[in-house]
Structure 1
Amino acid sequence: MSEPTDLTVGPAAAPSPAGPSSSPQMPSDASEVPASRRERQEAEATTARASRAGRNLPAAITVGVLLLGGALVGLLWAPIVLAALVIALLLLGVYETAHALSSRGVLVPVVPLWIGAVLMPLGAYFGGIEALVLALAVTILIILGWGVSRGAGGRGESVMGSVFVAVWVPFFLSFAVALLRLEDGNLMVACMLLMVVSNDTFGYLVGARFGRHPMAPKISPKKSWEGFLGSTVGSVLVGSVAVALLLDHPWWIGALLGALTVASATAGDFSESMVKRELNLKDMGSMLPGHGGAMDRLDSLVFSAPVAYMVFALPFT
């Protein structure tokens, strides 16, 4: 944290001498002062609102369009583009999570985690789950080597924090890349994303309208049981249709995955909320303009990606 800037206040201007020819200043109307102050405050507030909207809304739309465009290109034509997009998001997610932990005294090295954020999705893309697990092991060895090379102070805490970030961010999310190796893997990823989006959308709409009973008020006060029910119904319906139409699988596989997606996405949201609450943060970062941090967008996928992989890899699918 940078030191406070030393602000130097210049000497006050001396009052101008009042000569005999100086005309006395007439007292201003007292009612004009509050009025002008109110007008100035309202103008400043309006300017601030316009500035915030002008800065965030276009940025949010631009980032959203770029992410959606990259995902569509990867899903429809070039899976390697989707893998590259995942790597870019993992690099951001690892950085902001490590920075958040380090700002609270848990020194987490970024470079070993960046190496893991590249190795794990590439291993999943080119070698499948076996290569993904091997990449995680290599990442942990690099973290341990970094910890040994440091002094004794805080070494164990830093190593454990680094391993947590390596598993929570790049390892779990790389299962989405591993799906691309399966037959019709791009369509499986599309189904998973549709169910995750349905979970968020229906949960928000139903929760905002009918939410009365919070699920875990100390962790995520805005999550309600009514919203959870809306998420379940919406995700199950979307999953049943998407899996049947896109993959030609029985509808009940989509319904099963839809229900599991709601449970895993909610767990992922709660996990990020617990981390932010523990670190006293509102957002994990601000590296995606208009969207907060990368993990604020990826939290629902943290556990949903492994769950989707396990369901689609089962023999009956």
Structure 2
Amino acid sequence: MVRLRRAVAVAALLVPLLSCGSGGSGDGDNAGTDEAGGATATATEAASPAPAESEPSEELEESEQPAGTEQPDDAAGAAGDWWRPAAGTDWQWQLTGEIDTSVDAPVYDIDGFETDASVVDGLHADGRKVICYINVGAFEDWRPDAADFPDEVIGNDLAEWEGERWLDVRRLDVLEPIMAARFDMCAEKGFDAVEPDNMDGYDNDPGFPLTRADQIAYNRMIADLAHERGLAVGLKNGLDQIDELVDDFDFSVNEECAHYEECELLTPFIEAGKPVFHVEYEMTTDEFCPITQPLGFSSLAKNWDLDPWRETCPAP
């Protein structure tokens, strides 16, 4: 079934995997936690940290590192290490308005282009991890790098999303350097991870004869670009790709699996110890929390414009 918006639902035969390591306003009447706006933050960008030098003859294996020692962020990509969030981690998702830093959540998912580096620094100072939202599957005509996309890779409009058009994800030669530059920006601003959006163009009406194999290849490239820069990366929606991609991605971001009655398809991430960052727009917490809490999801009720408001499930 084709759904012309970001919340695309599909069916798939999934193979369970072994475990690996790891606002606005609301009515306040539900059993969950209703959070609204407080402090906001804007600032200027910070420079990228310099690459760390290595000593190949005396490097310690990861298992030999002293307890409690974390690898420096600037060495993460070279060492094949990056933040790996645990299943069940709470989160906040805000893509519009000034970032409300008062929301009590250990993970923030915010727009990479619109957020300055000192906002990320401030969230880090509060002990939070920060995810960089980047649209990897659709052209956005307002982004500062819009001129980098040649006409031949820009396809049909995304219904209900003005200014967005599907990309021809077969053209890795064109899109890889553009996405690499975007992920460089995320790393330079100090983000810990990337949320790539629109990773399921082949299942929509992109204007190109895309196949599932084309999409899988492109999404793996996206995961590699993130990991090479020491960034964790999430699989956005794309439920029919989970069986092949759960090992390549560090978390899932899902919209409306309860509404479409397909949350079970996301459980391979939980079984692998990786979080499912999940939102519902049309259902109340009373309706979806009994579905997603037993599955171990990190679930929120959010407004469609993804302003600061959120409502969490009640504590179990």
With the shorter chain as reference, the TM-score category is: under 0.3
Which gives a bigger RCO, structure 1 or 2 (Cα 8 Å, sep 6+)? 2
Larger Rg: 1
Question: Which structure is higher in helix share?
Answer: 1
Normalising by structure 2, we get a TM-score of 0.24
